[in-house]
Structure formats: C-alpha cells, structure tokens
Chains A and B, each alone.
Chain A
C-alpha cells in the first residue's frame, strides 16, 4: 500500500464549477501538506501548503487537512480552463533525517472545459 493515495481521475468539469481534489495517507508522521500543480510537459509548482490540521485559503483555492482522518483536500472555486493540469498532493515529516523528502500522491488530471 502506498503511503499517499490519490485518485488519478481524470476529472472533467465545466468552467465555473467547484472542484474537489483529495488525498488520503497512512503515515502519521506527516505534518506538512502541500498541493502542487503540474502543467503538461512542465515541472510541478507549489500551490499551497499547510501545517498540521486546519484550513488555508488563497484566492480561489482552499486547502483542508484533517489529520484525525488522514485526509487532505484542495478545493478550487470558479474553476477556469487555465486550471486544467495535474494536481499532486505532497507530504513531509516534521523531523528525522528526511529534511527535504516529499512524498507525493499519484496526481489527479483535471480538465476544465469552457
């Protein structure tokens, strides 16, 4: 079983829809939770990160972490065709020697059609 599970989709929604992307994880040591966006033929870029449980909002994007359920979500409001990309969740331990190691989900392919 993978440490981080993410439904690969693909997910197709109309412009303006609210999109919900989710990941579950099994490693209780994860404390930092990130969402990356990857456009076709590009490297991933960081969208948001949160520490421990709670919500964080940035414009049309909201990240939620529920550590008790080991479940994280990314919501995109008023989705735009430019949001079409692969969204990857990533997680990191708080301590130990794995200073920089990020563990990624499989990625969800999102298409927003006009």
Chain B
C-alpha cells in the first residue's frame, strides 16, 4: 500500500457527462501528479501540482482540469466525456519540493478505472 488513496475505484458514465476523480496524497507529501493509462497510449503524464499550485503540464486535454486544495487533496475533473477517455487514471504523490534536476520517487495510488459508454 503506497499510502495514496483514490476514489472512486470504478466509474461508469455516459458520453457527454462530467466526472470528478479524487486523490489524497501520502501524509506530508506536497506534490500531486495525475496520469492517464490506456492500452494504446500507455501511461501519460497529465499535470502536477505542488502545494496548491500548478507546476507542470503534460498533454492534458482542455476538457480536463485539476486542482489541489489547501488540505493537499487533489481532484481531476473530466468533462464532455468521450469514449476515448475510458482509461485508468492514476494519482501519484512525492514529498519534496520540486527542484530542477532532481528526481523524487512518485508513489502511485491504486487508480480509478473510468468507463465511458
């Protein structure tokens, strides 16, 4: 158990709908990362937050947005859902201050499996 929790574990919804995925980082971790894992694209970085501020952005669609709250939990909002958004969504956290040139272990949660029908 990594200490990162994600809810819900599974989500089934229809095209055009909006969903919110929730992540609680490990105790004391300030950085939160969101990843999408699909069969065709593999594991792809979406976005990173550090202590409430956006720090890095990947190929995140405009229909997707995220935020990190003062208690450090994070939410990933997916709107106008399409069939192709069906995937596993992982949240990861790391403890240290993000510093250029450094790498810190990212602890991954169990993921949320999203199915869009």
- In the complex, are the beta carbons of A105 and B42 less than 8 A apart? yes
Cβ contacts under 8 Å, A97 to chain B: 55-56
Is there an interface contact between B56 and A46, defined as CB atoms closer than 8 Å? no
- For the complex, give the distance between the alpha carbons of A92 and B104 in Å: 11
State in angstroms the CA–CA spacing of A98 and B101 once bound together: 10
Does any Cβ of B come within 8 Å of A104's Cβ? yes
B16 at the interface (CB under 8 A from A): no
Shortest Cβ distance from B7 into chain A, in angstroms?
Answer: 14
Shortest beta-carbon distance, A36 to chain B, in Å? Answer: 8
User: Could you tell me the distance between the alpha carbons of A100 and B100 in the complex, rounded to whole angstroms?
Assistant: 9
Tell me, rounded to whole Å, the shortest Cβ–Cβ distance linking B1 to chain A: 10
State whether the Cβ of A78 lies closer than 8 Å to any Cβ in chain B.
no
Kindly identify, within residues 55 to 108 of chain B, every residue whose CB is under 8 Å from any CB belonging to chain A.
Answer: 55-56, 58, 90, 92, 94, 98-101, 103-108
A34 in contact with B48 given A43-B109, A44-B108, A107-B42 (CB within 8 Å):
no
**Known interface pairs A42-B110, A107-B43. Does A100 touch B94 (Cβ–Cβ under 8 Å)?**
yes
Complex CA gap A101/B44 in Å reads 9
For residue B50, which residues in chain A have a CB less than 8 angstroms away from its CB?
99
A42 to B111, CA, bound (A): 7
CA distance A95 to B99 in the complex (A): 9
Q: Does the CB pair A45–B48 fall under 8 Å?
A: no
Contact A101 B58 (CB under 8 A): yes
A105 CA to B45 CA, complexed, in Å:
12
| Cα of A31 to Cα of B101 in the assembled complex, Å | 8
Most B Cβ at <10 Å: residue of A42, A88, A100, A107: A100
By a CB distance below 8 angstroms, the chain A residues around B94 are: 100
Q: Does residue A85 face the partner (Cβ distance < 8 Å to B)? A: no
Shortest CB distance B64–A (Å) = 16
| Chain B residues engaging chain A, CB cutoff 8 angstroms | 2, 4, 31, 33, 42-45, 48, 50, 55-56, 58, 90, 92, 94, 98-101, 103-111
A-B contact pairs, 25 of them (CB 8 A): A41-B110, A42-B110, A42-B111, A43-B108, A43-B109, A43-B111, A44-B43, A45-B2, A45-B108, A46-B105, A46-B106, A51-B103, A94-B100, A97-B55, A98-B56, A99-B48, A99-B55, A99-B99, A100-B33, A100-B45, A100-B48, A100-B56, A100-B94, A101-B48, A104-B43
